[in-house]
A and B are shown apart, each in its own frame.
Chain A
Amino acid sequence: QTVVTQEPSLTVSPGGTVTLTCASSTGEVTSGYYPNWFQQKPGQAPRALIYSTSNKHSWTPARFSGSLLGGKAALTLSGVQPEDEAEYYCLLYYGGARVFGGGTKLTVL
């Protein structure tokens, strides 16, 4: 059973920068896992932010960026806004299967 691991929680100050990571139990995360990132606020459906490691959707704010970092997929928020407080999920593709990470609860304080 493949497990995708994220930090359970992170806290950042408004205007600050924070990096969330996404690790695979199978080893190094590469671009071939097509990392996706989603934001979910309470009571809402997830909203897509980043795909294929670093590509932004047309609606993704510029302060969100994706990368590969130290063998993991990473989501960096620069100039964090209060409205960025949410749960963030990564998604990795393993051939035909897809596996979500457990999510990171980001608090803006």
Chain B
Amino acid sequence: QVQLQESGPGLVKPSETLSLTCTVSGGSISSYYWSWIRQPPGKGLEWIGYIYYSGSTNYNPSLKSRVTMSVDTSKNQFSLKLSSVTAADTAVYYCAREVGVPFYNYYMDVWGKGTTVTVSS
């Protein structure tokens, strides 16, 4: 079955750029939306944004100015960059597959295990 695996540095310095990659195995990256979600320690889930396999994106307005997502269909990977990070960006970052059929169904069904990113000097 489809599995997702997040990867990237676990420690990022303040003001630098956080970069994470999600590798999709057991299935194709095509025909799906791919989302990033984060969860600060002891807090709830926050949707960061999604990228469609074709490359179109939609970001959380509260993070939009700092977020960039990209997709590499040849590697079955998609990526997240979050710039100018502060301690408030410390969180577990998850990637998730999203199914979207307009006017019918939208859902996130497969999630990665998450990766912890700490912002600290």
Interface residues on chain B, size class: 20 to 34
Per-residue CB contact flags for chain A residues 1-44 toward chain B (1 = under 8 Å, else 0) read 10000000000000000000000000000000010101010001
Asked if A51 and B107 make an inter-chain contact with CB atoms under 8 angstroms apart, the answer reads yes
B113 within 8 A of A: yes
Contact indicator A51/B44 (Cβ below 8 Å): no
- Interface, chain A (partner B; CB < 8 A): 1, 34, 36, 38, 40, 44-48, 51-52, 55, 57, 89, 91, 93, 96-103
Q: How far is the CA of A48 from the CA of B111 in the complex (A)?
A: 9
Docked complex Cα distance between A11 and B110 (Å): 28
The answer to whether A47 touches B111, judged by C-beta atoms less than 8 angstroms apart, is yes
CB closest chain-B residue, reference A58: B109
Q: Which of A38, A45, A51, A89 contacts B106 (CB 8 A)?
A: A51
Q: In the assembly, what is the distance between CA of A100 and CA of B114, in Å? A: 17
CB contacts (< 8 Å) of B58 on chain A: these are 96-97
Choice from A1, A52, A101 contacting B44 with Cβ under 8 Å: A101
B44 touches A89 (CB 8 A): yes
